[in-house]
Chain A
Amino acid sequence: MSNIDLTLQIWRQKNSDALGKLETYTLDKISTDMSFLEMLDVLNEKLTMEGIEPVAFDHDCREGICGMCGAVINGVAHGPEKETTLCQLHMRHFKTGDVLVIEPFRSRAFPIKKDLVVDRSAFDKIIQAGGYVSVNTGGTPDGNAIPISSHIAELAMDAAACIGCGACVASCPNGAAMLFTSAKISQLCLLPQGHAERKKRALSMVETMDKEGFGNCTNLRECEAVCPKSISIRNIARLNREFVRAAFSEG
Chain B
Amino acid sequence: MIHQFETVIIGSGGAGLYAALEASKNSNTAVLSKLYPIRSHTGAAQGGISAALGNVEEDKPEWHAFDTVKGGDYLVDQKAASILAEEAIQAVYDLENRGLPFNRTPEGRIDQRRFGGHTRNFGEGPVRRACYAADRTGHMILQTLYQQCIKNEVSFFDEFQVVDLILEGTKCSGVVVVELATGKLHIFSAKAVLFATGGFGRMFKITSNAYANSGDGPAVCARRGIPLEDMEFFQFHPTGIKGLGILISEAVRGEGGILRNRDGERFMEEYSPTLLDLAPRDIVARSMLTEVRNGMGIRGDRQIDDYLHLDATHLGKDTLMKKLPDISEFCKTYLGIDPADDPIPVLPTAHYAMGGIPTDEHGRVILDNKGTIVDGLYAAGECACVSVHGANRLGTNSLLDLVVFGRRAGKHIAQYAKGADGVKVDESAADEARQWIEQITDGSEGPHGGHITDEMQTTMMEKVGIYRNEKEMQEAVDEIQDLRNRYRDVRVQDTSSTFNTDLLEIIELGNLLDLSLLTAASALDRKESRGAHSREDYPERDDDNFLKHSLAYLEEDTVRLDYKDVDTSIWEPKPRTY
Interface residues of A (CB under 8 A from B): 14-15, 45, 48, 53-54, 56, 59-68, 81, 83-84, 88, 90, 92, 113-114, 117, 120-121, 124, 127-128, 131-134, 136-138, 142-150, 153, 156-157, 160-161, 163-164, 187-188, 191, 193-194
Which residues of chain B are near A131, meaning CB under 8 Å?
147, 150
Is B143 on the interface with A (CB-CB < 8 A)? yes
B140: contacting residue among A142, A147, A160, CB under 8 A: A160
Which residues of chain B are near A120, meaning CB under 8 Å?
36
CB pair A193 B35 closer than 8 Å: no
Is B411 on the interface with A (CB-CB < 8 A)? no
Which residue of A has the minimal Cβ distance to B153? Answer: A128
Which residue of B has the minimal Cβ distance to A125? Answer: B150
Which residues of chain B are near A163, meaning CB under 8 Å?
38, 43, 139
Is B302 on the interface with A (CB-CB < 8 A)? no
B564 to chain A, nearest CB (A): 35
CB pair B499 A117 closer than 8 Å: yes
A60: contacting residue among B35, B53, B110, B334, CB under 8 A: B35
Question: Helix, strand, loop or mixed for chain A's interface?
Answer: loop
Interface residues of B (CB under 8 A from A): 35-36, 38-41, 43-44, 53, 55, 90, 93, 96-99, 101-111, 133-134, 136, 139-140, 143, 146-148, 150-151, 156, 158, 181, 210-212, 246-247, 326, 329-330, 333-334, 336, 450, 493-496, 498-499, 501-502
CB pair A153 B103 closer than 8 Å: yes
Once A65-B43, A132-B151, A163-B139 are accepted as A-B contacts, the answer to whether A142 and B101 lie under 8 Å apart by CB is no
CB pair A133 B99 closer than 8 Å: yes
A190 to chain B, nearest CB (A): 8
CB pair B39 A132 closer than 8 Å: no
CB pair A157 B101 closer than 8 Å: yes
Q: Can you report 8 residue pairs joining A to B where beta carbons are below 8 Å apart?
A: A14-B496, A53-B496, A60-B211, A65-B43, A121-B158, A147-B109, A161-B139, A191-B99
CB pair B35 A128 closer than 8 Å: no
B210: contacting residue among A60, A90, A121, CB under 8 A: A60
Q: Report which residue of B146, B181, B499, B502 has the largest number of chain A beta carbons within 10 angstroms of its beta carbon.
A: B499
CB pair B501 A54 closer than 8 Å: yes
Which residues of chain B are near A66, meaning CB under 8 Å?
35, 38-41, 43-44, 210
CB pair A144 B93 closer than 8 Å: yes
CB pair B498 A15 closer than 8 Å: yes
Which residues of chain B are near A63, meaning CB under 8 Å?
44, 210, 246-247, 330
CB pair B104 A150 closer than 8 Å: yes
A62: contacting residue among B96, B211, B450, B495, CB under 8 A: B211
Which residues of chain A are near B110, meaning CB under 8 Å?
145
CB pair A14 B43 closer than 8 Å: no
Which residues of chain A are near B133, meaning CB under 8 Å?
157, 160
CB pair B109 A142 closer than 8 Å: yes
B150: contacting residue among A53, A90, A127, A156, CB under 8 A: A127
Which residues of chain A are near B334, meaning CB under 8 Å?
88, 90
CB pair A68 B35 closer than 8 Å: yes
Which residues of chain B are near A56, meaning CB under 8 Å?
499, 501
A208 to chain B, nearest CB (A): 12
Which residues of chain A are near B97, meaning CB under 8 Å?
133, 136-138, 144, 146, 193
CB pair A157 B41 closer than 8 Å: no
**Bound CA span A146–B108, Å:** 8
Which residue of A has the minimal Cβ distance to B149? Answer: A132
**Bound CA span A134–B181, Å:** 33
Which residue of A has the minimal Cβ distance to B55? Answer: A145
**Bound CA span A157–B326, Å:** 13
CB pair A153 B147 closer than 8 Å: no
CB pair B498 A114 closer than 8 Å: yes
CB pair B109 A161 closer than 8 Å: no
B101: contacting residue among A59, A62, A147, A156, CB under 8 A: A156
Instruction: Taking A127-B150, A150-B111 as given, write out 12 further A-B residue pairs in contact, using a Cβ cutoff of 8 Å, ordered by the A residue number.
Output: A54-B502, A65-B136, A88-B333, A124-B36, A127-B147, A133-B99, A138-B97, A145-B53, A147-B104, A153-B104, A157-B136, A160-B101
B256 to chain A, nearest CB (A): 20
A145: contacting residue among B109, B150, B212, B496, CB under 8 A: B109
**Bound CA span A113–B134, Å:** 35
B114 to chain A, nearest CB (A): 19
B410 to chain A, nearest CB (A): 17
CB pair A143 B98 closer than 8 Å: no
**Bound CA span A128–B36, Å:** 15
What 7 pairs across the A-B complex have the smallest Cβ distances? A147-B108, A132-B147, A144-B93, A156-B101, A150-B104, A61-B210, A133-B99
Q: Report which residue of A54, A137, A143 has the largest number of chain B beta carbons within 10 angstroms of its beta carbon.
A: A54
Which residues of chain A are near B41, meaning CB under 8 Å?
60-61, 66
**Bound CA span A145–B139, Å:** 21
B481 to chain A, nearest CB (A): 27
Which residues of chain B are near A150, meaning CB under 8 Å?
103-106, 108, 111
CB pair A14 B98 closer than 8 Å: no
Which residues of chain A are near B156, meaning CB under 8 Å?
124
